[in-house]
Amino acid sequence: MIGEIAALEAATFGGSPTRHTLVDGKLIGRFGRKAAAINLLHQTMNAYLQDMGLTTDLFNRDLLHAGVGNFAEDGVPDPEIPSSELNAVVFYLKTLRVPLRRDLDDPDVRDGEVIFEQIGCAKCHVPTLRTGPSEIAPLDRVTFHPYTDLLLHDMGPELDDGYTEGRAATSEWRTTPLWGLGLSEEFQGGIAFYMHDGRARSLREAIELHGGEGSASRAAFRGLSAEDQERLLAFLRSL
């Protein structure tokens, strides 16, 4: 499905501005800000090592400094996280409940959803995807609504912070899923932090940071009436 979405978006934007990223040249990356992890297991092992300094079966050498990538010994036998614990965490992550939508009957939310489509947001923040085969029955070939295409996009100088991961360029970012967006402030102490590094403090500011492939939708948002802008924001807060 990711390949099909990439082809459709390439035709929409012209050329090949959107793409999936290959990990080791073979497997499609879908997880992480730069889509450098192929699945939740890969992403979880990355997080254990880079965020917590804990080794697993695949990443079994301690980092002296995550930013530098040097290795060091800490005297603790590796791997520090046994496979049984790692698999349990991955299973937990796979089965987390999807954030529930709110205010579905609000006329502004319904109108905002239409505007979301009209100004091109849904070209990248694709509302509906379908899972593949899964050994977990509730996840097996089901429709879900993450508002992402899981693809890399060049977001221009506005979001080019010189950081790369995998094969992504410094200005390329995987489309962030929008489900749960409206709950962000509730779980961040009442303060909004949006975009990959939290630099945007409001939904408006986050939209304004959409350069590159997102610039057309940003321009379309600027061209909306104040009332329609508020309707779009109401829709985003309902996710």
User: Over the stretch 140-182, which tens digit does the pLDDT of each residue have?
Assistant: 999 999 999 999 999 999 999 998 888 899 999 999 999 999 9
Q: What is the mean pLDDT of residues 179-207?
A: 92
**Which SS3 state, helix, strand or coil, does residue 166 take?**
coil
Does the pLDDT at position 22 exceed 70?
no
Asked whether the beta carbons of 169 and 159 are under 8 A apart, the reply is: no
Residue 46 parent element (H or E): helix 40-52
Distance of CA 24 to the CA centre of its chain: 21
Q: Note the pTM of the prediction, 2 decimals.
A: 0.85
pLDDT of amino acid 190: 86
Interhelix angle 226-238/107-118, nearest 10 degrees: 100
Q: What's the pLDDT band for 15 if we cut at 50, 70, 90?
A: very low
- What is the residue type of 39? N
Asked whether the beta carbons of 86 and 57 are under 8 A apart, the reply is: yes
Encode 103-134: b = buried (16+ Cβ within 10 Å), e = exposed: eeeeebbebbbebbeebbbbbbbbbebeeeee
Q: What is the mean pLDDT of residues 27-52?
A: 90
Does the pLDDT at position 6 exceed 60?
no
Q: Domains of the chain: which residue ranges?
A: 39-94, 107-238
Does the pLDDT at position 118 exceed 60?
yes
pLDDT of amino acid 16: 34
CA distances from 98 to 145, 177, 202 (A): 9, 12, 23
Cα Rg, the chain, nearest whole Å: 19
Does the pLDDT at position 68 exceed 70?
no
State percent of the chain over pLDDT 90: 68
Q: What is the CATH number of domain 107-238?
A: 1.10.760.10
Asked whether the beta carbons of 196 and 33 are under 8 A apart, the reply is: yes
Q: What is the mean pLDDT of residues 45-56?
A: 91
